[in-house]
Structure 1
Amino acid sequence: AREQQVITNVFELDTRTVGSAMSPRDRIAFFLRDEPDAVIRLRIAAEPFSTYPVCEGDIDHVVGYVDAKDLFQRVLNNQPISLADDSLVRKVLIVPDRLTLSEVLEQFRQVHEDFAVIVNEYSMVVGVVTLNDVMSTVMGDLVSPFDEEQIVKRDENSWLIDGITPIEAVLRALALDHLPHEEEYETLAGFLMVMLRRVPRRTDTVTWGGYRFEVLDVDSYRIDQVMVSRVTDTSVAPVVPPA
């Protein structure tokens, strides 16, 4: 069954967009080019990642990226860290958010990189993606613990799910074949927005396919946590968007 899921995921690379595998904007740890040494050291300790975008002024003006290994090397050698040093900041791959995962893999291959910044049509940064993110999408539970972190099974009839969880992972966890209007969203949060036709608020619920989706926590319009419960009362009518 796992092997079959991997094969299915490989074929989905041509249809799934990069947004389904990326780390979204509000979870990006980045540096401003003029940040002092002390701030950089504190951030790599507080937010340990393998790669950090380097920006000029704000996150929407990315000028490159820095590899954590290069930063650690300077720390170990007691050398100052300055992102104004061009030898430290590498050229970054920028890709549009409508590319498929297959197209992103091809771009990684062409430029021999494994990290990219994703922008929308207005040149705003919407996320970052790594080669490992894409491969985890292919291999699913075989290599990626991330879905497990995003989906916590509380008991046989309820799950606690992060709003940014890719909808494919939600379908697998709930053993559903599909959700309505899947072409309009890529995450659980997107599903709730489409079904409610507005930005969800705490305690909002959607019932569909034998499950109730209840918004537990919202932070600055971002859906943090959703409780999904199996509905045993078949008389509960599903919530559907207005025509």
Structure 2
Amino acid sequence: GLDIEDDIDDILQQIGSAQHTLLPMYKQKIDNIIGILHLRSVGKLIQVEKLNKASIIQETMEPYFIPESTPLHTQLFNFQNKKLRMAMVVDEYGAVQGLVTLEDILEEIVGEFTTDLAASNKEIHEQGEGVFLIGGSASIRDINRILSWDLDSSGAKTLNGLLTEILQSIPDFAVGIELDGYYAEIVQVKDKVIRTVKMWKSDSAPVA
């Protein structure tokens, strides 16, 4: 998480090296959660040259708290109902114990996103409203076949290969990529391989 009491340069350095698109922001200690910051908001602030502590706080989303005893399926329902991707887990005394993401819950319930598509067909997960979480090792042909998409399959064979080819490097943290008629948001990079990607058609942008 990010401590808003830190120096602005330290905060920016932490944002730059973040492995996730959503970061909890707190004041001095993790129990004092201010809000949840989406890295996409930071990008907007950079573009308009208004990157300071006040503007960062203004861009944070209200944190969502769940008891640590909440069953996984209840957490998943709450995430879907509230259109959330992250929640802070608290104990019976209200102390923050950690955080849980939508991806964490889905991995617990249905297994790793990057399972071999041919073996279990779990590379592609619909999140609703035309948005999909896709494993980086999914083949372009399978994605096109299952989703009736038209991604370029003339070169790279997998989604990881296609995105790496476009970027010409492995990203250190989440980035968004405009494809021909599609948008890809890299969610997870591990061992120098793009593991999970959030994708949708450009004409069906997600709500959040």
TM-score by length of 2: 0.49
Q: Which has the larger strand fraction?
A: 2
TM-score normalised per structure 1 = 0.43
Larger radius of gyration: 1
